[in-house]
Structure 1
Amino acid sequence: MEYKYQLILLGANVPEKETILSKVFEKLKDLGLPQTIIKVIEASEVDTQYKGNQPAFGLYFGNVKGDHLNLDITDKLLKDGTMILPIYYGDPNDDAFSKEIPRILSNQNGTQFKNEKIDGIANIILESFELLRNTRKVFISYKRNESTSVAIQLFEALESYSYDVFLDTHSIGMGEPFQDELWHRMTDCDVILLLNTPKFLESHWCKEEFAEASSKQIGIVQLVWPNHEIKNIDSASHISYPLKLNDFDFVNNIYNNKDQSKLVDGIVQEIIMKVESVRARNLASRQDNLITEFRNIASQCGRNVIVQPEKFMTEMINGRKIIYIPTIGVPQSASCQSAEIRHEFDKNPNTSIRLIYDDLRIRDKWLNHLDWLNDNFRKEIKTLKKQEFKSWLEAKK
């Protein structure tokens, strides 16, 4: 895989590292995902193994004696925008966090290590990489009269690997407005799997899908059929990752029959790994861009917004806490239901939540629906459009 999810282990060398890793790998297995999609990097390996353009999450293990290790590395990762979860061991009532965790991480939310919290820590790691099932969304773009059988094969294969897959013939309910639902689902996906058959780009709607992906900066895995040239369209080229297929990648070398063509198992596995790789790169980039843009505007408005390890932001203003949750795609009410956020909300009744999102190319119908939810849903949970970041932050001082 070209791009992997990087889990970086910092601080004290303690046996709890292996305990947490075992739980993470157990959850990956339950999701049907290979252990190899996560690259575990020790502090001593950061200089040679860490890639700044790939998604990363750090765990900092505290030291009960106050010996703080890896401070330079921790500082570098924080400047790169990497989320780091501090883990301490002593009694929080005895100020164990400040004793065991270095000052450079004092603004991060930490957790006390307990056996009953291992599952929650593993979930935080997987959530930071957006690896839980309801967030792993793939859109298959294809031309029906050229690649239907392969599209269905990949739909079934990706579903078996815990993806939420959109395929027009399988994913749009009876009576639903076809094109509206198609654009909505594309806007909401993490990566597009494009079956570039000989006449794909001659279709008006296929070209529209390609352009839509470009406008939303959604990563594309482009499967290029045998005897067909790799083609890039305008600004979409920088987010398209082509994979050239050969005739032997198809069962019995049959690649030009829309109803009978099937890919061999080996190339299907390679495609799935490629999808995950592109998703890792693209999703992290889109989320980091959204966080960075919001923090920059907040800073210009004199607001002190802090990024937390779980990849949400917090701010205290007039005695109230605001939690900003960056959302890729179309915000859903379910985005507010994660255990960590709900715990924070229930613990502090003076907390409000804002789901921040990029509203570019989301259809008016859905934007109007989100505005309606803001007016009619509980006042503590609302959405906030990218185009309204500045006006909202200036007004809420």
Structure 2
Amino acid sequence: MKYKYQLITIGTTGDLSDKIINLFFVQIKELKLDKDAFIIIDETNYSKEYKGNQPAFAIYFGDEDGNFKHLDIIDSLIKDGTIILPVFYNDNCFGIEIPKVLENQNGLLYDSTKNIKIVNLALESFELLRTSRKVFVSYKRNESTSVAIQLYEALERNNFDVFLDTHSIKQGEPFQEELWHRMTDCDVIVLLNTPKFLDSYWCKEEIAEASAKQIGIIQLVWPNHKLEAMAHVCLPIQLQSTDFEESVFDNENASKLVEPFVNNLVSEVESMRARNLASRQDNLITEFTNFAVKYGKSINLQPERFVTEELGGNKKRIFIPTVGIPQSVNCNQSEEIIKEIKDYEVDSVHLIYDDLRIRDKWLTHLDWLNGYLKVQTIKKKNFDRWLKEN
């Protein structure tokens, strides 16, 4: 690719900025993206390497003593419309640690759990990680309601869109149909594996559904309980009584996890998002490519994780794997890819997605959009027929 994604680190840099950069490339590897598509910009190479017409995300590391650096770079970035994330370190000290020119930016109060969040904000800005931040909490009501609500509130505070059945389904909606629909669109499931969790038919179904959709699970295993084997992306965490306030873990309405554990769990959810996205993209790409090869299509996987088909005469069709439920915004963002690819003529752009358990009313809406938008959608169940006919 001729352009690069630019991660810019300015301000009082050092050990923290180095950690962020290292973690950034770990996440890039998780997403199976080409490392050469990214460049790190700082004050040493800004004037030579920075390009205002290419994707950029800047992190300004504040200074506790108010010794502000690189104000000229900030001015340049603001003129280019680059997103700048100010990072400060002490509560109520934004105005002391961050220069006035950034006072209108939404800053991040730093602690050691925020590293992965900073990285993911950069990836979201580059549109390489979904901007929707959806988490599904699976639990048994008569065993872990209080913990489920605690996690719902903690994840919401960290800008996740959390699905919790008692809070998230409107009255009058078909409960189970909406539950499956919302699970389809989530990035991670936090499963509260209490002693009688699998006694519930619906809890078992949720695990099976997550497996079918290849959704990553963080499994919190209650003290004195066993881990459930799962074939898909799963992070098991064995809880101890000390992970609960006053070591009380068996009171459905009063048990609470201690704050440090909750903070670390939020970081684990952030970390799993990239792995899960890559896994689900792989599934779509592999299935689509297998059908394409079956019908003799000339298919290539690009470093940016979309598929191209050679049509001859320098023309190509583009197929973009879309995790979760396609939205009109996905279609609009996909049109931007046409502008970024200069080496050949784009014949058409298509979003490919898994339609399993998406509600019929939404599938009907997507089919309707196909009649009005340049970017078309193709259901996974239709890959075979579509490729045969086109």
Q: What is the TM-score normalised by the length of structure 1?
A: 0.66
User: Residue 281 in 1 paired to residue 245 in 2?
Assistant: no
1:295 aligns with 2:289: yes
Is it true that 1:371 corresponds to 2:358 in the alignment?
no
Q: Identify if the C-alpha distance between structure 1 residues 328 and 291 changes in structure 2 by more than 3 Å, giving closer, same or farther.
A: same
Deviation at 1:247, TM superposition (A): 1.2
- 2:196 matches 1:196: no
> Which residue does 1:261 correspond to in 2?
255
Question: Is the alpha carbon distance of 1:212 and 1:50 closer, same or farther for their aligned partners in structure 2, counting shifts above 3 Å?
Answer: closer
- The separation in 2 between residues aligned to 1:228 and 1:133, in whole angstroms, is 35
The residue aligned with 1:39 is: 23
1:158–1:361 CA distance, 2 compared to 1 (3 A): same
Q: Relative to structure 1, is the Cα distance of residues 285 and 343 closer, same or farther in structure 2, using a 3 angstrom cutoff?
A: same
CA distance in 2, matches of 1:193, 1:202: 18
Matches for 1:280-359 after TM superposition, within 5 Å? 280-315=274-309, 317=311, 321-338=316-333, 341=336, 344=339, 351-359=347-355
How big is the shift at 1:142? 0.9
CA distance in 2, matches of 1:35, 1:315: 39
* Structure 1 portions without partners, runs of 5+: 1-15, 42-48, 61-83, 88-111
SS class of match (1:338): helix
- Quick check: 1:57–1:125 contact (8 Å CA) kept in 2? no
Contact 2:245/2:258 (CA < 8 Å) preserved in 1?
yes
Q: Are 1:115 and 2:52 matched, yes or no?
A: yes
Match of 2:387 in 1: 393
Give the secondary-structure state (helix, strand or coil) at the position aligned to 1:336.
helix
Greater relative CO (CA pairs within 8 A, separation 6+): 1
1:85, 1:389 → 2: CA distance? 32
For residues 186-232 of structure 1, the C-alpha deviation after alignment (integer angstroms, 9 at most, x for no partner) is 11112110111122211121111112112212121111112222233
SS of structure 2 residue aligned to 1:114: coil
Does 1:140 find its partner at 2:77? no
SS of residue matched to 1:22: strand
Contact 2:300 2:307 (C-alpha < 8 Å) held by counterparts: yes
Alpha-carbon distance in structure 2 between the residues aligned to 1:354 and 1:339: 8
Cα distance in 2 for residues equivalent to 1:38 and 1:165:
29
**Cα deviation 1:174-197 (Å, max 9, x = unaligned):** 322222111100111121101111
* CA-CA distance at 1:59 after TM superposition: 4.4
- The Cα RMSD (Å) is 3.9
Matched letter for residue 280 of structure 1: A
Cα deviation 1:227-259 (Å, max 9, x = unaligned): 222233xxx344433211111111121222222
Percentage of identical aligned residues: 51
Q: Provide, for residues 14-56 of structure 1, a one-character-per-residue CA deviation record: whole Å limited to 9, x for no partner.
A: xx99x72428xx9xx9xxxx97596255xxxxxxx8997x334
Equivalent residues in 2 for 1:153-164, closer than 5 Å: 153-164=150-161
Q: CA deviation at 1:282?
A: 2.4
Q: Select 1:223's aligned residue among 220, 231, 239.
A: 220
Cα distance in 2, alignment partners of residues 184 and 313 from structure 1: 26
> Is the 8 Å Cα contact of residues 128 and 310 (structure 1) preserved in structure 2?
no
Give the corresponding residue for 1:22: 9
Give the Cα separation in 2 of the matches to 1:364 and 1:339. 24
SS in 2 for 1:133: coil
Is the counterpart of residue 57 in structure 1 residue 33 in structure 2?
A: yes
Distance 1:178 1:272 in 2: 27
Q: 1 CA distance for matches of 2:125 and 2:317?
A: 20
Shift of 1:283: 1.9
Deviation at 1:368, TM superposition (A): 4.1
Quick check: 1:124–1:310 contact (8 Å CA) kept in 2?
no
Change in CA separation of 1:197 and 1:130 when aligned onto 2, cut-off 3 Å: farther
Structure 2 unaligned regions, length at least 5: 41-48, 58-81, 84-120
Q: 1:297 to 1:145 in 2, by over 3 A?
A: same
Summarize the Cα distance change of 1:128–1:118 in structure 2 as closer, same or farther, 3 Å threshold. closer
TM-score, normalisation: structure 2: 0.67
